[in-house]
Amino acid sequence: MSNWIQWLDAATWSIPILLTLSLAALICYRKAANPWDYYVFAYLAIALIVDLSSRYWLSFHTDNLVFVHLYALAELTLVGIMYMRFFLTRLRKIGWLLLFVSGSFVTWEFAHHILRDTDQDFSYYQSYSRVVVSATLVAYGLISLLQRVRRSERMDNQKVRLIVALTFYYSLNFIFYLPINFFVTAHTHFKFLLWAINLLVTNVFYIYLTLYLWRFGKKKKPLFSG
């Protein structure tokens, strides 16, 4: 089992390496073509910051599970506001209410983890923050797609591609994080296989977002030209 842990620990570095290269390439060669592109870029930047911060946190603490709540709150805020501003054309009051309720739950669970669970037994660890956030963002995605199907005018291809990618990714996230206690505490090789699959899905998702910004973004003028 130790070999699996060492392999997975090394493989997780693919995420910050990928994000660093992606952000550097986008900064140097592309600029946003749509207002929501800034949100997608910020999403990738936050993912990198959270990943590196969680690794640094482990230098002084026994676990970094607090970042499950922090990242969930960041995802909900950023992606939720992006949906509300650019993709949801109807049911906006319900959308804002859902965003508030989900955000309140994640904040409550984060406070509970900080104030009461500092010395908790990991065999009882169970967080629903990522589950709630994923369910909320999947609901936003499905509603946005249904609204576009019912509209008579031609659907915006760029928006639809992004909404479908987000909906698919957070659907998988919902399934993966529902039994998070198993992934944290189970002593079985099967959980490492599932962690590896989740790592692969996450990398593919980040690559897709990078290619999305690259394809639909505008070319930047080179800093130096002959």
Quick one: pLDDT at residue 76? 97
Assess if residue 225 is contained within a domain. Answer: no
Burial class (CB in 10 A: 0-12, 13-18, 19+), 76: buried
Q: What is the pLDDT of residue 124?
A: 56
Number of domains the chain contains: 1
Q: Is 30 helix (H, G, I), strand (E, B) or coil?
A: strand
**pTM of this structure:** 0.88
Task: Determine, yes or no, domain membership for 156.
Answer: yes
Residue 5 within any structural domain of the chain:
no
Distance CA 175, CA 191 (A): 14
Residue 4, domain member (yes or no): no
As a whole number of angstroms, the distance between CA 54 and CA 180 comes to 17
Candidates 222, 215, 138; CA nearest to 176 is: 138
Range of the domain at 197: 12-218
Range scoring the smallest mean pLDDT among 63-77, 127-141, 175-189? 175-189
Report the pLDDT value the prediction gives residue 49, as an integer from 0 to 100.
Answer: 97
Burial class (CB in 10 A: 0-12, 13-18, 19+), 5: exposed
Per the domain annotation, does 133 fall within a domain?
Answer: yes
Task: Give domain status of residue 3, yes or no.
Answer: no
Lowest-confidence range among 11-20, 40-49, 127-136, 183-192? 183-192
155-171 tens-digit pLDDT: 678 899 999 999 999 99
